[in-house]
Structure 1
Amino acid sequence: MSTTAEFVRAHTRLAPVPFVPELVLHQADEPIELWELTEAAGAEQPPPFWAFAWAGGQALARHVLDDPALVAGRDVLDLATGSGLVAVAAAKAGARSVTANDIDPLSLAAAEVNACANGVKVALAEGDLLESGYADAGVILAGDVFYSREMAARVLPFLRAAAGRGALVLVGDPGRAYLPTQGMVRRSTYDVPVNEALESVPMRRTSVWQGHFTYR
């Protein structure tokens, strides 16, 4: 077992995902403690987004599992995969291939152990695809990526280019401030249970969006 996988297992517990109970995920019991631990590691270590089932990812995973034709037989990229939840759901739904991408090695370790726990395989792509681009996928899935103005400004051109070349682009989002809804189509909306210590509420109204992107 790799050092990163050992760290993931040591700081999480395998449990069903609240809104997608047919899937299990290594999740942190004490989110604030883990967040402080990664902050203490230095500025070069990203926050532990990989240790939680975020609302956008849960909604997107639910949507894909409920409508597997969206991904079945297609090559899928899960952008900024975090825990790998959405990648696992796509693999379960019958995608031909699934690539989980993130800049954080711990995130990719989490995606790998979570895929294993659910009996599926995903490929791992470490690095910033927003810089390099990624033309191999016919479906781009992005859960909860519009959490800051800076991230939104970088993600949008990537998603816009993917949609422009004909890829299906689906975004799961719980109403983050920088989600550009103009020109997008809301496919579904869910009330998703979330970690109250992180979100300050027990439930987030979360939508899955599809479409071409505009940003002002």
Structure 2
Amino acid sequence: MKTQKKNMLYEIKWNLVGILGKLFIDLLFSTTKIEIVGVEKVKPVLDSGKFIFAFWHSRILLLSYIHKGWNTVILVSQSEDGEIIARILQKQGHETIRGSSSRGGLRALTTLIRRLKEKQRPGVVVPDGPRGPRFKAQPGVIMLAKKTGVPILPIAYSAEKMKIFASWDRFILPYPFTKCRFVYGDPIYVPKDADKNKEEMCRIRLEQELCKITFDADRKFGHKIGIDN
């Protein structure tokens, strides 16, 4: 009985975290002016519903807000921070699969591959999560694209006025009533017969494209947020 009550309180707590987190993000971005760049060039990919969003760990807030209700399936770490993110994403209309490079990664990746093959829907992977190195793409997303046969779609955003946290990823939180710039990058295609060298080339291309669109979004507002800053 005590265990059942404890589990119920646990679920109530995290359900409340998800609700309040979603409300906060909705309220925050309802006050901002959002410019979306590059959507025309990737419209055929978006319309297909078969792709994998990829973005840096520090840039999740606006991206999840813009695509809420898309029924994307997202790989989220099994950490407590990951639990917070997962609960908010679920309230935004996404499905989450728990796992990372350090805990349950292979099982989670296998589940994600199955979900994407079962139904025409977007996937999401954060290539430098959950612990970094910052702005360094890990190979999991390349393997996912190879196994599913769908392109990787890099996305990024920045804000004119924002709080930059002293975390490993330099997480950004836009201030209310600021301007934001959301950028779609060029799709990355990974051939199903790609060997290790080709996979590494695709990983480097993804990393370079993500850095390019992230830094372009930052420079729009005069920010100089480099890899080593």
TM-score bucket (shorter structure): 0.3 to 0.5
Rg (Cα) greater in structure: 2
Structure scoring higher RCO (CA < 8 A, sep ≥ 6) equals 2
TM-score scaled by structure 1? 0.46
Higher helix share: 2
